[in-house]
Amino acid sequence: MKSISNSSLDTTVIDWPVHMQRAIDLAQRVRTATPNPRVGCVLVKGFEVIGEGWHVAAGEAHAEVVAIGNAGKTNTCTEAFVSLEPCAHTGRTAPCSEALIAAGVGKVIIASLDPNPQVAGKGVEQLEQAGVEVYQLVDFEDQSREMNPGYFKRREEGIPYVRLKLAMSLDGRTALANGQSKWITNKAARSDVQKLRASASAVITGINTVLTDDPSLNVRSAELPENQDGLESGAKELAHQPIRVVVDSQLRTPGTAKIICNEGSVKIYSTADFTVGKSLADNVEIVKATVSGEGVDLQFVLESLASDFSCNEVLVEAGPTLSGAFIEAGLVDELVVYIAPRLLGSDAKPLLEIHGLQSLAESHQFQVSHLDRIGDDIRVILKQAP
């Protein structure tokens, strides 16, 4: 495989970055293909785009196969632009490297290698062995990784990418002293949270939130902003419900909780000895977790979600205690903070329970990555500082 940068492209291939950007844009037409990565593919003959495709959901055809199907006839003059190395193994579908070879594609241009050990260079190898020229457009590698942060993190570090959602008043409060919190933020911000859930393999909450608010934490397609961002519309998203996860040491989650009664799979991480063999409902799995400090070991929870349930991106929607614990453990990759233009006063409940800091040097530092107005609220997206 030849690695090539945009600046070194000669005039015969000057359009390659345009096609690769298109493949990356197509990949992002789905919020999630969990446990698979988002992938897009563009087939070009001469200067003409003859086929496009993207992977809609696990079990459905991969991007390359969709693009080949749309293109009809291809031949050795055809170039395939794929946002991720084509797979080389048989999973729920046949290998894409074989599909590209069978379609007679002459050149395959990828943005990034696949970190999945079942692929990791083997897709490139199979293509090259069949006489297909393979190039990596290295300037697109960052975009390819950034649109699949959880897929790369699970494969490389063994834990999912963690997004922590927080909704607060202008003075950083989340509820009145009497517990009243519905709703601090406006409808548009709450609808935006539906997008976060729809992108997530799992939504994690704390037992106190379950007991206090009895949330559903599911994706409600009617509340998703319609057909925005050029995404596939409702049908596929309706089919995807993130796993609901409760961090609950003493297994206090009631069998009547909405999180259990609504459709979809639920995992409860508990440290209590009596959890072994206990069941609450058919859709609920109780996982015996290790202990850290006074609670469930959150690193264990993430490792288990990655290895046992193939979770790529997870969303934490919890109260100040569990949210603060995730930050203190250094496990948060991204904060999504909704700020409502109202003041709740100093008796109101804090955003996070984080204690014991003695100097600013010990403070948890993030970098602002996006700042947007959502209705009358503000949304700030922050990433962990390097």
Ligand X SMILES: NC(=O)c1ccc[n+]([C@@H]2O[C@H](COP(=O)([O-])OP(=O)(O)OC[C@H]3O[C@@H](n4cnc5c(N)ncnc54)[C@H](OP(=O)(O)O)[C@@H]3O)[C@@H](O)[C@H]2O)c1
R_g of the chain, CA atoms, integer Å: 23
Based on the shown chain and the rule CB under 6 A, indicate whether residue 37 belongs to the binding site for ligand X: no
Q: Cα 198 to the chain's mean position, in Å?
A: 9
- Listed in sequence order, the residues at least 6 apart from 355 whose beta carbon sits closer than 8 Å to its beta carbon are none
Based on the shown chain and the rule CB under 6 A, indicate whether residue 212 belongs to the binding site for ligand X: yes
Q: Do the beta carbons of residue 134 and residue 113 sit within 8 Å? A: no
Cα(46)–Cα(77) distance, rounded to whole angstroms?
A: 7
52 included as an active-site residue: no
Catalytic residue among 48, 52, 60, 64: 64
Does the N-terminal peptide bond of residue 242 adopt cis geometry, omega within 30 degrees of 0?
A: no
* Residues binding ligand X: number (CB under 6 A): 28
Q: Which two tokens stand for residue 179?
A: 């517990």
Binding mask 228-257 for ligand X (x = CB under 6 A): -------------------xxxx-x-----
3-state helix, strand, coil in the chain (%, to 5): 30, 25, 45
Based on the shown chain and the rule CB under 6 A, indicate whether residue 167 belongs to the binding site for ligand X: yes
Based on the shown chain and the rule CB under 6 A, indicate whether residue 320 belongs to the binding site for ligand X: yes
Cα(163)–Cα(160) distance, rounded to whole angstroms?
A: 10
Cα(133)–Cα(120) distance, rounded to whole angstroms?
A: 17
Q: Do the beta carbons of residue 264 and residue 288 sit within 8 Å? A: no
Q: Which is nearer to ligand X, 198 or 207 (CB)?
A: 207
Q: Which of 175, 198, 259, 344 binds ligand X (CB under 6 A)?
A: 175
Q: Which is nearer to ligand X, 99 or 184 (CB)?
A: 184
Any idea what the Cα angle at residue 238 is, between residues 234 and 244, rounded to 5°? 140
Based on the shown chain and the rule CB under 6 A, indicate whether residue 295 belongs to the binding site for ligand X: yes
Q: Which is nearer to ligand X, 93 or 321 (CB)?
A: 321
Cα(287)–Cα(264) distance, rounded to whole angstroms?
A: 17
| Piece of 9-17, 120-128, 156-164, 317-325 that binds ligand X (CB under 6 A) | 317-325
Q: Which of 238, 321, 364, 375 binds ligand X (CB under 6 A)?
A: 321
Based on the shown chain and the rule CB under 6 A, indicate whether residue 322 belongs to the binding site for ligand X: yes
Residue 202 CB, shortest distance to ligand X, in Å, is: 15
| Piece of 12-20, 72-80, 199-207, 253-261 that binds ligand X (CB under 6 A) | 199-207
Q: Which is nearer to ligand X, 33 or 203 (CB)?
A: 203
Q: Which of 319, 335, 344, 366 binds ligand X (CB under 6 A)?
A: 319
| Piece of 83-91, 95-103, 149-157, 209-217 that binds ligand X (CB under 6 A) | 209-217
| Piece of 49-57, 69-77, 315-323, 363-371 that binds ligand X (CB under 6 A) | 315-323
Based on the shown chain and the rule CB under 6 A, indicate whether residue 166 belongs to the binding site for ligand X: yes
Q: Which of 68, 217, 298, 382 binds ligand X (CB under 6 A)?
A: 298
- Listed in sequence order, the residues at least 6 apart from 205 whose beta carbon sits closer than 8 Å to its beta carbon are 215, 217, 244, 245, 246, 247, 259, 316, 317, 318, 322
Maximum pairwise Cα distance, the chain: 70
Residue 207 CB, shortest distance to ligand X, in Å, is: 5
Considering only CA atoms, which of 349, 302, 354, 305 is closest in space to residue 325? Answer: 354
Q: Which is nearer to ligand X, 132 or 167 (CB)?
A: 167
Q: Which two tokens stand for residue 122?
A: 């083997």
Tell which positions 79-118 bind ligand X, by CB under 6 A.
Answer: none
Residues that bind ligand X (CB under 6 A): 166-167, 174-175, 179, 181, 205-209, 212-213, 247-250, 252, 295-296, 298, 317-322, 325
